[in-house]
Each structure stands twice: as structure tokens, then as C-alpha cells.
């Protein structure tokens, strides 16, 4: 191809398109076209106002270029603000939202058109943006970060089709209450145990290099800075006790501080699984911070002898390993709670002054009984270790804790978690179910306004609207709590709103960057949203952090089926065949994946074989029924898929999210599918809440359709 007449240039590219355009057209073509025309004319005017040039606008897409990336970003922000104002007068299901991506790149201009990697990257970045949101590339961010007073959040590196190097992407925070910029380059991940709350040790001051000290109950001296980081990791405290037998106590001090900090709005606190993975490591502070994607590390030590203890804590800036603050507390054990309260207050004061974030919340439900507290810390430490013997000892310690203080709500919460772990592999399963429910009932009775009690109440409510209200209330109590974000994210997936759920799963991946579960959950949410490439990448990332990849490979097989990629189907089927998944005895039961894989070239035989699998006792559990449903949809046996779903889900939440997988689109067209979601109460929820989500929309007053 000749390049005669072509011109190369560096330009800022803005790419935009409508979210859910096909759905809008399917509901009302005329209204959609009218709204699109109105909005495009408004956008064209803003592009011109910000000194840009409209390059193309086919269908619901818009491509523009700017000589200045500052102008491009300002234009993008004004577009989203004006669109939001225009959408306020529209019904929820008729609102038209755009995604925007902005990049700086070298392009080829041919007449009025532009081509090249710079354009492709802008389009790919756009697909990562939230509805009504903007994503920009690292090259764009470097040019605007100090020139426009808006907030940015680093999302990570993303592989872009046909682009050799990964692209670093930043999200512009459009929320009016957004706090100062979060721009750390971190690698997402996740998974953690139920939180407890108590203010503990140490003061959090972010500033220029300044080390300062204060006495017990003395107000902190703060060095004010223009902008402070919003991400911190609390490392496990070192046990310096003479007998080296207080590791559980040292861990407890660090974890209580971590849990307390999660209650501060606009602060991201790396969760336990990731931050505690560096226990005993030889890695430097800078190396740990780089892996976790944080700018500040809180570390410390505990020396305990008899009833006396010494706690030392220090805040370290990772970039230069400078100590911004440190302090030592020598106390009697009976004073531990007063020390925790005083230092927590200092933490809150320092954060308000330096960061402008909310006050440090202190949840009710903690004991002041020293013996109960010690038993609780020991029990929690044992619960987090593998093995039946450890969980049995954990239950014994935690039962002792709540016996010593029956009003110890956080102790009851930890005991309920321990019963849940025991339920997984100790034969007396029914006994532990009953005990867990009794413990959770006690929590709700003792501390109904705590985040963990609100989540428990939500899990027990049969009213979906009330469930959502409780989850949202729990998030106001502890915005950075892993479990609450996780539970609400899955609730949104259950009710068919994965686009909204994405924010919560991206958040927990940032909170817990070194655990496998969060990546898997994020991958499944990407899948439900229809982004198979992102789902595959997240699932493969999850495999990096697990020693048991069977479930992960099963998810990759589903993704390959959804893309109908025969080579990948062959690869992942081979990985999951003959695995000991869900306790299936393969010696007397044929393997579903093996049989279905063998029938890929004989699709007419698949239906009868799948019906045989429905009769096998080994496949009479909800997850294996879902496997049957997946293969049934792949082979076009949609009625059979629906039957498998009916038989798989005994309760409303067991596997509801799987009905929204792209592979089940045909099943969702069946009349019986409507009956199923009505029975689950989803239709009533959609109508009461006015939030029909990504897949279904109302038709008249009494009917609805699903994509």
C-alpha cells in the first residue's frame, strides 16, 4: 500500500459509544434514534467548543481528535456531565449513557480520516470505561495529571488486540464526592475472612519528611501536604516476646488496625490475605509496596511478657523508605483497650487533616474482658490455619471467648465464621449449620448496625429490595470492607446487573491483590458483562495464585465454549477431564466434559447424553447441574438447559448469576425462563426497584423480555 498523500502526526483521540445501544433500539427504535441524534448534536458542539475535530460518527460511535489532550479530557468531562443532566429527565430504562476513551498516539491521516494504533488504543480503552465514565491511557494521563483539577484512579495494565505492549489505563472519577487522585500502579487480586472492628495501634500521618512524637493522650503534630496517597498496607506485626509465643497476639494487633482503617471512606486498605503474605519475608518495604501497589506501609512489633506489653508502630513512605512517624507504647495488658482507643483517635485526626477523609469509625461489639479478647485472638489465628485439628481448636477458643463475655459481638462473628469452615469438612455438618445460624442471630441481636450484622441480615431477607438496602447501608458503615463489597457485587450479578457489579469486584481486587478468588470473581463478572477477553485474562490471573486450578480451568472451558473456539475447547477440556471436581467418583461415573467433548462433531447425539447425566446421582448437585446446563446451551438444547437450572438451584441465590452467562442467551428466550425468574422474585424486585439491569426490560405493565 502506497503512503503517498498520507500524513503522520501525533494527536489526541477521543472515542465514544453508547452503552446498551442494541437494547435501547430493541425497546423503542424511534425514541432511541431521536435521543441519539439530540445527544450527538450536543457532543459535536462540545467537540468544536473545545477546539477538536469530529472525524467520524457512524451509528452510536463517535471519533474525534484534538491537538491538545488537555482539551480532549476537558471535552470528555463536559460531555459526560451534560449527558448526565439530560438523562435525569428520562426513565431508567431509556437513559442513554456513553463510554469515552482518550489516548495520545501517532496516526496516519488520509483526507479527513485517521488510522493507526493510536485510534485502536482509544477504542479499546473506551470499552473499559463505566457507563457515563471516561478512561485514559498512561500517555494521556502523564500530560494532564498536573493541568486539570480532577481525580484519577489507576486501573492496571491491559492487553490490547494487535498492540504489542500492555496499555496502562486510568479512570477519571466522575463522582462529585470523589477524593484526591488515586494514581498508584497496582496489580489487582482478592479473597479475605470476615472482618472485625476495633481501633488499635498507630497514627496515620501523610506528609513530607517529618518524624514527630507525642505522649499518651497528646494531640498529634501534623505536617500538612497538598495531596496524600489513599492506599496503605498494614504488615503483620513482629512478635518480639522472649518466648516467641505471642505471634497470634501480634497478628491480632495488626489486623485490628487494618480492620479499623477500612471504616474510613476514600481510603483503600490492602486486605489481610495479601498484606500478611509477606510475613517472614526478606523483601524490602519498597518491594512489598510495589507488589501491593501502595505508597505507604504501616509496620510494627509487639513484645509481651506477663501482663506487660510494648507496642511499636511506624509509618513508612515506600518510595524512599523514610519513616514519617513512629511511636512506642509501654502499658499493662489491662490498658490495651484504652491504648487502642487513644491511638485510633490520633489516626482519625491525622487522616482528616492530611487527607480530608472521614473519621475513623469504631464498631460496637468489642469486649473489654482481657481474657475473652486473648481467647478471641488465639481462636481467630487458629481459624485461619488449614486442617481439621486447627479449626476444632479455634472453635474451642472462640466458644471460650463468648462464654467469658456473652455480649462480645465480634467474638460471635468470628465463631460463626469458624462454624462455617467446620461445616465444609467435619462430618457433623448439620450441627455446625445450626450453631452458625445461632451465632449470627446473636450478632444481629447485639450489634444490628455493624457492617457484618447488616450483611447477615441481608443474607436472611427474602425481600430483594430490602437486601439491597441493607448491603448499601453496610457499605456506608465500612466502605472498604472486603466482604461487604464482595456480597453486594454478587447480589448485583444475581439480579442481572453485572455492569454495576464491576465496580465492586474491581475494588476488591485492589483491596486484596494477592489472592486468587477476587480475580476469579472479577473474571466471572466480565463474562456476564459479555467481555470474554477480559474474563479470560482475569481467570488466568487467578490461576497464578492457587494450587487448585480445577474450578478455574472449568471457567476457562466455559469461556472457550462461549467463543466457540475449538482449539481452546480442546485445551481446557483436557485440563478438567478426570479432575476430582465436587467429589465425583470417576471410577463409576462417566465424565461430563469428556463425553461432551467427544460429541463436538456429533451434536445430534448430545441431547440424549445430557439427559442421561441428569439421572446420575453423582451429578445431582447444583454445580454439576450447571455444567449440564452449559453444555446443553452450547448444543442448542435450551429447554434441557432450563430444566437443569430448575433442578440445580434449590434456593434463590445458589447459582442465579449463571443464568446471565452469554451462552444461555437462547434459554432466556423461552417462556419457561420467565416463569423461573418470576418464581425467584426477580421480576417483583425489578419492578419495585425500577432497576431492570443489563438483560431484561419491561413490556407494558405486566410483561417483560430478556436478551
pLDDT single digits (tens) 583-631:
444 444 578 888 898 999 999 999 899 998 888 877 777 778 888 999 9
Strands, DSSP E only, in 162-307? 167-173, 231-234, 238-239, 268-269, 296-305
Q: What is the pLDDT of residue 100?
A: 95
Nearest-CA neighbor of 90 among 44, 41, 32, 37?
32
Q: Which residue has the higher pLDDT, 681 or 387?
A: 681
Q: Which residue has the higher pLDDT, 484 or 175?
A: 484
Secondary structure letter of residue 561 according to DSSP: H
Q: What is the pLDDT of residue 641?
A: 92
Cell 426513565 appears where? 91
Task: State mean pLDDT over 48-68.
Answer: 92
d(CA 169, CA 45): 27
Q: What is the pLDDT confidence band of residue 203, given thresholds at 50, 70 and 90?
A: very low
> DSSP 3-state assignment of 120?
helix
Q: What is the pLDDT of residue 483?
A: 86
pLDDT single digits (tens) 270-287:
888 888 888 877 788 888
Q: What is the pLDDT confidence band of residue 64, given thresholds at 50, 70 and 90?
A: very high
Q: What is the pLDDT of residue 159?
A: 65
Q: What is the pLDDT confidence band of residue 77, given thresholds at 50, 70 and 90?
A: very high
Q: What is the pLDDT of residue 525?
A: 94
d(CA 86, CA 494): 30
**Which phi-psi region, left, alpha or beta, contains residue 540 (left: φ > 0; alpha: ψ -120 to 50)?**
alpha
Least confident of 226-230, 332-336, 526-530, 614-618: 226-230
**Got the DSSP string for 10-53?**
EEEEEEEEETTHHHHHHH-HHHHHHHHHHHHHHHHHHHHHTTEE
Q: Considering the chain, what is the average pLDDT of its residues?
A: 79
> DSSP 3-state assignment of 106?
strand
Q: What is the pLDDT of residue 98?
A: 94
Which segment, 77-81, 110-114, 124-128, is predicted with the most confidence on average? Answer: 77-81
Q: What is the pLDDT of residue 412?
A: 92
Strands, DSSP E only, in 91-145? 98-110, 113-115, 134-137
Q: What is the pLDDT confidence band of residue 365, given thresholds at 50, 70 and 90?
A: confident
Which segment, 251-265, 326-340, 509-523, is predicted with the most confidence on average? Answer: 509-523
Nearest-CA neighbor of 371 among 402, 344, 393, 395?
402
The DSSP bridge partners found for residue 482 are none
Q: What is the pLDDT of residue 523?
A: 94
- Which positions ≥6 away from 299 have C-beta within 8 Å? 234, 235, 237, 238, 285, 313, 314, 316
Q: What is the pLDDT of residue 647?
A: 80
Cα-based distances in Å from 52 to 66, 69, 122, 695: 5, 10, 15, 36
Confidence check: pLDDT of 391 > 90: no
Secondary structure letter of residue 190 according to DSSP: B
C-beta atoms surrounding 650 within 10 Å: 9
Secondary structure letter of residue 547 according to DSSP: S
d(CA 642, CA 664): 9
Task: State mean pLDDT over 551-577.
Answer: 89
Task: State mean pLDDT over 237-257.
Answer: 81
Confidence check: pLDDT of 642 > 80: yes
Domains of the chain: 7-173 (3.30.70.1230), 370-448 (1.25.40.10), 589-707 (no CATH)
> DSSP 3-state assignment of 158?
strand
Q: What is the pLDDT of residue 338?
A: 66
Q: What is the pLDDT of residue 353?
A: 40
Q: What is the pLDDT of residue 184?
A: 39
Task: State mean pLDDT over 258-265.
Answer: 72
Confidence check: pLDDT of 488 > 50: yes
Confidence check: pLDDT of 250 > 50: yes
Task: State mean pLDDT over 539-562.
Answer: 87
Q: What is the pLDDT confidence band of residue 59, given thresholds at 50, 70 and 90?
A: confident
Q: What is the pLDDT of residue 70?
A: 93
**Got the DSSP string for 397-448?**
HHHHHHHH-TT-HHHHHHHHHHHHHHHHHSS-HHHHHHHHHHHHHHHHHH-T
Q: Which residue has the higher pLDDT, 354 or 252?
A: 252
Phi and psi angles of residue 62, each rounded to the nearest 5 degrees, phi first: -140, 135
Residues 530 and 660: beta-carbon distance below 8 Å = no
Percentage of residues of the chain with pLDDT beyond 90: 30
Percentage of residues of the chain with pLDDT beyond 70: 81
C-beta atoms surrounding 223 within 10 Å: 17
Q: Of all helices (H) and strands (E), which one includes residue 156? A: strand 151-158
d(CA 444, CA 437): 11
Residues 211 and 323: beta-carbon distance below 8 Å = yes
Q: What is the pLDDT of residue 668?
A: 93
Burial class (CB in 10 A: 0-12, 13-18, 19+), 577: middle
Q: What is the pLDDT confidence band of residue 504, given thresholds at 50, 70 and 90?
A: very high
- Which positions ≥6 away from 33 have C-beta within 8 Å? none
Q: What is the pLDDT confidence band of residue 298, given thresholds at 50, 70 and 90?
A: confident
Least confident of 180-189, 483-492, 561-570, 679-688: 180-189
Confidence check: pLDDT of 140 > 90: yes
- Which positions ≥6 away from 524 have C-beta within 8 Å? 493, 535, 555, 657
pLDDT single digits (tens) 342-364:
554 554 444 444 444 444 445 56
Cell 439491597 appears where? 468
Confidence check: pLDDT of 494 > 80: yes
Task: State mean pLDDT over 133-147.
Answer: 90
Q: What is the pLDDT of residue 303?
A: 86
Confidence check: pLDDT of 337 > 50: yes
Confidence check: pLDDT of 50 > 90: yes
Q: What is the pLDDT confidence band of residue 54, given thresholds at 50, 70 and 90?
A: very high
Q: What is the pLDDT of residue 341?
A: 55
Amino acid at each position: 500500500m502506497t503512503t503517498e498523500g498520507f500524513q503522520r502526526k501525533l494527536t489526541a483521540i477521543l472515542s465514544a459509544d453508547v452503552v446498551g445501544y442494541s437494547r435501547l433500539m430493541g425497546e423503542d427504535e424511534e425514541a432511541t434514534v431521536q435521543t441519539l441524534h439530540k445527544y450527538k448534536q450536543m457532543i459535536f458542539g462540545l467537540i468544536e467548543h473545545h477546539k477538536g475535530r469530529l472525524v467520524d460518527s457512524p451509528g452510536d460511535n463517535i471519533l474525534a481528535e484534538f491537538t491538545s489532550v488537555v482539551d480532549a479530557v476537558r471535552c470528555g468531562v463536559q460531555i459526560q456531565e451534560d449527558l448526565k443532566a439530560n438523562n435525569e429527565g428520562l426513565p431508567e430504562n431509556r437513559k442513554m449513557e456513553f463510554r469515552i476513551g482518550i489516548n495520545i498516539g501517532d496516526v496516519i491521516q488520509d483526507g479527513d480520516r485517521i488510522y493507526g494504533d493510536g485510534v485502536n488504543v482509544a477504542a479499546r480503552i473506551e470499552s473499559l470505561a463505566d457507563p457515563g465514565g471516561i478512561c485514559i491511557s498512561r500517555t494521556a494521563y502523564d500530560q494532564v495529571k498536573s493541568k486539570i483539577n480532577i481525580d484519577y484512579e489507576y486501573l492496571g495494565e491491559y492487553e490490547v488486540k494487535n498492540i504489542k505492549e500492555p496499555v496502562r489505563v486510568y479512570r477519571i472519577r466522575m463522582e462529585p464526592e470523589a477524593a484526591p487522585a488515586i494514581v498508584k500502579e497496582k496489580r489487582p487480586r482478592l479473597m479475605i475472612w470476615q472482618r472485625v472492628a476495633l481501633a488499635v495501634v498507630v497514627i496515620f500521618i501523610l506528609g513530607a519528611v517529618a518524624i514527630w512524637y507525642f505522649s499518651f493522650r497528646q494531640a498529634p503534630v501534623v505536617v500538612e501536604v497538598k495531596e496524600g496517597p489513599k492506599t496503605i498496607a498494614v504488615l503483620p506485626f513482629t512478635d518480639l516476646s522472649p518466648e516467641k509465643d505471642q505471634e497470634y497476639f501480634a497478628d491480632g494487633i495488626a489486623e485490628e488496625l487494618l480492620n479499623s482503617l477500612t471504616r474510613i471512606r476514600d481510603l483503600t486498605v490492602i486486605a489481610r490475605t495479601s498484606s500478611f503474605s509477606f510475613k517472614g519475608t526478606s523483601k524490602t518495604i519498597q518491594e512489598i509496596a510495589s507488589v501491593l501497589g501502595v505508597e505507604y506501609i504501616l509496620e510494627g512489633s509487639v513484645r509481651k511478657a506477663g501482663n506487660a506489653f510494648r507496642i511499636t508502630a511506624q509509618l513508612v513512605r515506600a518510595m524512599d523508605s523514610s519513616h514519617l512517624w513512629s511511636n512506642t507504647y509501654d502499658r499493662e495488658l489491662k490498658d490495651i483497650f484504652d491504648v487502642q482507643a487513644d491511638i485510633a483517635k490520633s489516626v482519625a485526626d491525622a487522616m482528616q487533616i492530611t487527607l480530608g477523609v472521614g473519621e475513623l469509625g469504631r464498631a460496637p461489639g468489642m469486649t473489654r474482658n482481657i481474657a475473652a479478647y486473648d481467647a478471641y485472638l488465639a481462636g481467630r489465628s487458629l481459624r485461619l490455619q488449614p486442617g481439621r485439628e486447627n479449626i476444632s481448636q479455634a472453635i474451642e477458643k472462640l466458644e471460650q471467648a463468648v462464654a467469658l463475655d456473652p455480649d462480645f459481638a465480634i467474638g460471635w462473628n468470628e465463631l460463626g465464621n469458624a462454624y462455617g469452615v467446620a461445616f465444609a469438612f467435619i462430618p457433623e455438618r448439620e450441627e455446625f449449620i445450626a450453631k452458625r445460624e445461632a451465632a449470627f442471630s446473636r450478632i444481629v441481636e447485639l450489634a444490628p448496625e455493624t457492617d457484618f450484622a447488616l450483611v447477615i441480615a441481608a443474607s436472611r431477607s427474602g425481600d430483594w429490595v430490602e437486601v439491597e438496602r441493607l448491603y448499601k447501608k453496610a457499605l456506608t458503615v465500612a466502605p472498604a470492607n472486603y466482604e461487604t463489597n464482595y456480597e453486594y457485587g454478587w447480589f448485583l450479578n444475581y439480579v442481572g446487573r453485572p455492569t454495576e457489579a464491576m465496580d465492586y469486584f474491581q475494588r476488591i481486587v485492589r483491596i486484596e491483590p494477592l489472592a486468587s478468588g477476587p480475580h476469579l470473581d472479577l473474571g466471572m463478572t466480565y463474562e456476564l458483562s459479555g467481555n470474554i477477553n477480559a474474563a479470560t485474562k482475569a481467570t488466568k490471573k487467578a490461576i497464578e495464585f492457587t494450587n487448585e486450578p480445577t474450578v478455574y480451568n472449568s471457567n476457562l472451558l466455559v469461556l472457550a465454549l462461549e467463543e466457540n473456539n475449538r482449539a481452546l475447547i480442546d485445551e481446557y477440556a483436557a485440563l478438567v477431564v478426570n479432575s476430582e471436581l465436587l467429589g465425583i467418583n470417576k471410577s463409576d461415573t462417566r465424565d461430563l466434559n469428556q463425553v461432551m467433548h467427544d460429541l463436538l462433531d456429533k451434536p445430534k447425539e448430545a441431547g440424549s447424553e445430557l439427559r442421561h447425566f441428569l439421572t446420575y446421582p453423582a451429578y445431582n448437585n447444583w454445580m454439576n447441574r450447571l455444567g449440564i446446563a452449559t453444555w446443553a446451551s452450547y448444543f442448542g438444547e435450551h429447554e434441557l438447559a432450563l430444566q437443569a437450572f430448575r433442578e440445580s438451584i434449590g434456593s434463590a441465590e445458589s447459582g442465579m448469576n449463571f443464568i446471565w452467562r452469554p451462552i444461555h442467551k437462547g434459554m432466556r428466550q423461552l417462556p419457561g425462563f420467565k416463569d423461573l425468574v418470576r418464581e425467584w422474585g426477580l421480576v417483583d424486585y425489578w419492578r419495585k426497584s425500577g432497576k431492570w439491569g443489563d438483560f431484561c426490560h419491561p413490556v407494558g405493565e405486566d410483561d417483560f423480555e430478556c436478551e
